[in-house]
A = this chain, B = another copy of it.
Amino acid sequence: MALIIRPALPSDVPQILAFIRALAVYEREPDAVLATEADLLEHGFGEAPYYTCLIAEQDGAPAGFALYFYDYSTWLGRPGLYLEDLFVFPEHRGAGIGKALLQRLAQIALEKGCARMKWEVLDWNSPAIDFYNAMGAEIQKEWLNVRLSGDALRRLADLGNVVETTEAP
């Protein structure tokens, strides 16, 4: 068995999109993926990338991926590694590939001086929750996620300017 975990290259973009689509099917949102190869190429491999990606290959075949970026803890005064997507194709599960990806992410987090790793899990995904608990992760039920998008985001932005502002950096 030859398992390799390596940073994604621009030529991996079609494969990354295939992983994202497969993950969306698993998360019961098969039609939610609007991202294109051009989006992923621009945002992950441009001058100021928004994300970084690892690819797991089993005997030369793409088996899984992890896509992440950095957040920041103002309490700890240190960056954190935020894991947006982690996925292993069903036919490659049970071989420790998900754990190997998480292990490599933990190493990268420590190398970069991060205080922690964070990610989200669906509340019905008991196998994943058990897996994360077993490695000592905390499920933080007190903190709820809030999202503002679409028309509500535009409405908020379009309120009459009641204050002076200067340009954002």
Contacts and interface: CB of A to CB of B under 8 A. Distances in A.
A109 B152 contact: no
Nearest to A149: B116
A156 B72 contact: no
Given A77-B34, A156-B106, A148 B135 contact: yes
Interface residues of A, number: 94
A34 B31 CA distance: 43
Interface string A139-168: 111111111111111111101011111111
Interface string A85-113: 10000000000100010111011111100
B153 A77 contact: no
Taken together, the copies of this chain in the complex come to 2
B35 A50 contact: no
Contact of A118 (B75, B123, B147, B164): B147
B146 A140 contact: yes
Contacts of A26: none
Given A69-B71, A102-B156, A123-B143, A165 B6 contact: yes
Contacts of A118: 145-148
Interface of A: 2-7, 20, 23-24, 29, 32-36, 39-40, 43, 50-52, 54, 56, 67, 69-79, 82, 84-85, 96, 100, 102-104, 106-111, 115-124, 129, 132, 135-157, 159, 161-169
